[in-house]
Homo-oligomer: A and B are copies of this chain.
Amino acid sequence: MSKQTSGDITIYEIAEEAGVSVSTVSRVLTGNANVSEKRKKAVLNIIDKYDYLPNSMARSLSNRKSHTLGIILPDITHPFYSQIFYGAEALALTKGYTLLLGCTMNDTIRHSTNLESLYVRILQERKVDGMLMMGGAVNETEPIKEHTEMIDKLSERMPVVTINDAMPNRKTLHVSVDEISGTRALINYLVSLKHKKFAFIGGDLAIQPTNVRLNTMRKTLEEHGISFDDSYFVPSEFDVESGKRCMTELLQKPSLPTAVICLNDLVAIGAIYTARKAGLRVPEDISFAGSDNMPMSEYVVPSITTIDLKALDIGKTAIEVLIDKIEGKSVSNKNVIKTELVIRDSCKMRN
Separation of A102 and B88 alpha carbons in the complex (Å): 12
Q: What are the residues of chain B within 8 A of A56 when measuring CB–CB?
A: 125-127
A57/B60 in contact, CB under 8 A: yes
Kindly identify which residue among B61, B93, B240 contacts A299, using a CB–CB cutoff of 8 Å.
B240
Identify A300's interface contact among B99, B124, B294, B299, CB under 8 A: B299
A82-101, CB < 8 A from B: 82-83, 85-86, 89, 93, 98-101
Complex interface: chain B residues within 8 A of A85 (CB): 76
Q: From A60, which residue of chain B is reached at the shortest CB distance? A: B57
Let me know if A121 is at the binding interface, CB within 8 A. yes
B-chain residues with CB within 8 Å of residue A273 when the two chains form the complex:
299, 301
Q: Does A183 interact with chain B (Cβ within 8 Å)?
A: no
In the assembled complex, the CB of A24 is this many whole angstroms from the nearest CB of chain B, namely: 20
Judged by a CB distance under 8 angstroms, whether A122 is at the interface is yes
Q: With the chains together, A83 CA to B75 CA distance in Å?
A: 10
Say if the beta carbon of A1 comes within 8 Å of chain B. Answer: no
Shortest Cβ distance from A58 into B: residue: B61
Does A141 interact with chain B (Cβ within 8 Å)? no
Specify the chain B residue showing the minimal Cβ separation from A78: B82
Whether A89 contacts B103 by the Cβ 8 Å rule is yes
Nearest CB of B to A98, in Å:
6
Query: Of the candidates B64, B76, B102, B299, which one forms a contact with A269 in the assembled complex, judged by CB atoms under 8 Å apart?
Result: B299
Q: Which residues of B contact A301 (CB under 8 A)?
A: 273, 300-301
Tell me the residues in window 114-144 of chain A with beta carbons closer than 8 Å to chain B beta carbons.
118, 121-122, 124-127
* 15 A–B contacts from the bound complex (CB under 8 Å): A8-B157, A54-B125, A55-B125, A57-B126, A61-B61, A75-B86, A76-B86, A77-B82, A98-B100, A98-B122, A99-B100, A99-B101, A240-B298, A296-B300, A300-B301
